[in-house]
Amino acid sequence: METSSKKEKRFRINYQLIVKNLPFFLFLSILAVVYIYNGHYSDKIIKSISKTSRELREMQYEYKTLKSELMFRSKQTEVARAVEPLGLKELTTPPVILTDSTITGN
C-alpha cells in the first residue's frame, strides 16, 4: 500500500503543479501563436514590397522609353515630316515684323 500512496502523491503533485502553472502555459501558448502570426505577416509584407518594387522598375523603364520617343518626335525634322501631309512647310524666309503707322513713336 505504500507504493500506491506514493504514486497518488506523485500524481497529485504533478496535477497541482500543472494547475498552478496553467497561466504560464497559457501565456507561452499565446506567445507561440503571436510569433507564428508575426512570421506570416512579415512574409506578406516582404512580398508586397518586392511586388511594388518590381512595378516601380517597370514604370521607370516605360517612362524612360516614352521620354526618349517624345524627344525624338519633337525634333525639328521629325515635326516637319509629320506635318508635311497636311500641306504645311518650313519657312525659308525670316518672319516679317509688322508696324502700325498710326502709332507715333516717342
The packing angle between helices 22-73 and 2-20, to 10°, is 40
* pLDDT (0 to 100) of residue 44: 97
SS3 of residue 62 by DSSP: helix
* pLDDT (0 to 100) of residue 10: 63
**C-alpha cell recorded at residue 83:** 506635318
pLDDT digits (tens, 9 = 90+) for 41-89: 999 999 999 999 999 999 999 999 999 999 999 998 888 888 988 988 8
* pLDDT (0 to 100) of residue 64: 97
Entry pTM: 0.55
* pLDDT (0 to 100) of residue 102: 75
Asked if the model's pLDDT at residue 11 lies above 70, the reply is no
